[in-house]
């Protein structure tokens, strides 16, 4: 082996302090334990006594050492009478280097902001996004240049709505939670009811998204969430998602998130309620986010 270990200890210890006073009075195997020093050789306990030549020197209170360095050894109890009566002293190979390497690996550095300027979705965002006076972001959808014309989506949305209504009739509690969610969406301004003049029949100018419920019984906030399905196909066999550019992932790496919890003594965790609903879609693109909805099966359908 080219190297056994780094100097032990890695740094000098001030043994003159009162903390070490009682320890230094003991008959230590290595009185200079506080000074960094190299290990010359490591010998297995099965070979130690074959190399030990019996010559001893004495230091202080007749404490023996071997001619090749300080030795700590002794017998141990074993059922095997032929076992070697010696204790192996364990030394970690390159301990100082390994610990330093582990600390560097465990260290969490601020991520470098690397943005691919050639990414089509990034280029679109940089050119089209803006912020209102109140600081709210307003964005447009990054449609692909070669996306086919939009086909009819209202018939599929109607079929999904009728299926949803039949399901909600069977589960009154879910039905009420669904109503509450939609009412909250309206009251917060995340969506608005269109007038008859605003409803356009041209399929190429709008997309109707089907919606359904996702239940999370263990959620402390909203147990029922309404999901708007952008993967539903239109009459041409393409969905809204198919027509949009897919940008790079922006979520934090989970391992990095866990490690950041170790940077400080106290950790503060918070949730921004309905954060993505706080990002507005440009008015010219809101027609691509239409839904149909009604509370009562006998009522007219609202857009």
Peptide bond into 9 cis (omega under 30): yes
**Domain regions of the chain by residue span:** 18-93, 120-289
Please classify residue 271 by burial: count the beta carbons closer than 10 Å to its beta carbon, then call 0-12 exposed, 13-18 middle and 19+ buried. Answer: exposed
Asked if the model's pLDDT at residue 210 lies above 90, the reply is: yes
Q: What is the 3-state secondary structure (H, E, C) of 196-239?
A: CCCCCCCHHHCCECEEEEEECCCCCCCCEEEEEECCCECCCCCE
Does residue 164 or residue 223 have the better pLDDT?
164
Instruction: Give pTM, 2 decimals.
Output: 0.58
Q: What is the mean pLDDT of the chain?
A: 80
Tell me the per-residue pLDDT of 261-299, one tens digit each, with 9 for 90 and over.
888 888 888 888 778 888 999 999 999 999 999 998 889
Q: Among 11-15, 96-100, 234-238, 280-284, whose mean pLDDT is lowest?
A: 96-100
Does residue 88 or residue 186 have the better pLDDT?
186
Asked if the model's pLDDT at residue 222 lies above 90, the reply is: no
Q: Which of 69, 43, 45 lies closest to 57 in space, CA to CA? A: 69
pLDDT at 186: 92
Asked if the model's pLDDT at residue 179 lies above 90, the reply is: yes
pLDDT at 75: 46
Q: Among 44-53, 166-175, 258-267, whose mean pLDDT is lowest?
A: 44-53
Percent of the chain with pLDDT over 90: 34
Instruction: Name, in order, each residue with C-beta under 8 angstroms of 41's C-beta and a sequence gap of 6 or more.
Output: 4, 68, 69
Tell me the per-residue pLDDT of 66-124, one tens digit each, with 9 for 90 and over.
444 555 555 444 455 554 444 433 444 456 677 777 777 666 665 555 667 778 888 89
Q: What is the 3-state secondary structure (H, E, C) of 12-36?
A: CCCCCCHHHHHHHCCCCCCCCCCCC
pLDDT at 107: 65
């Amino acid at each position: 082996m080219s190297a056994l270990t780094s100097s032990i200890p890695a740094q000098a210890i001030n043994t003159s302090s009162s903390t070490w006073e009682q320890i230094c009075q003991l008959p230590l195997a290595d009185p200079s334990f506080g000074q960094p020093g190299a290990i010359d050789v490591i010998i297995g306990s099965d070979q130690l006594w074959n190399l030990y030549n019996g010559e001893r020197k004495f230091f202080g209170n007749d404490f023996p050492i071997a001619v090749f360095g300080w030795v700590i050894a002794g017998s141990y109890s074993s059922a095997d009478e032929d076992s070697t009566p010696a204790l192996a002293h364990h030394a970690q190979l390159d301990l100082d280097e390994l610990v330093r390497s582990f600390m560097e690996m465990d260290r969490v550095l601020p991520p470098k902001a690397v943005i691919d300027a050639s990414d089509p979705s990034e280029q679109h965002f940089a050119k089209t996004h803006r912020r209102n006076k109140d600081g709210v972001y307003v964005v447009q959808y990054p449609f692909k240049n070669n996306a086919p014309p939009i086909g009819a989506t209202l018939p599929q949305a109607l079929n999904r709505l009728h299926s949803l209504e039949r399901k909600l009739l069977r589960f009154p509690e879910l039905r009420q939670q669904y109503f509450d969610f939609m009412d909250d969406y309206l009251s917060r301004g995340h969506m608005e009811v269109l007038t008859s003049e605003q409803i356009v029949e041209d399929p190429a100018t709008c997309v109707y998204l089907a919606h359904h419920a996702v239940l999370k019984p263990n959620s402390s906030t909203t147990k029922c969430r309404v999901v708007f399905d952008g993967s539903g196909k239109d009459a041409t066999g393409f969905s809204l998602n198919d027509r949009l550019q897919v940008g790079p992932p922006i979520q934090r790496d989970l391992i990095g998130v866990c490690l950041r919890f170790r940077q400080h003594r106290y950790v503060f965790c918070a949730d921004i309620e309905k954060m993505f609903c706080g990002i507005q879609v440009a008015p010219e693109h809101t027609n691509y986010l239409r839904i149909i909805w009604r509370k009562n099966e006998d009522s007219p359908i609202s857009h």
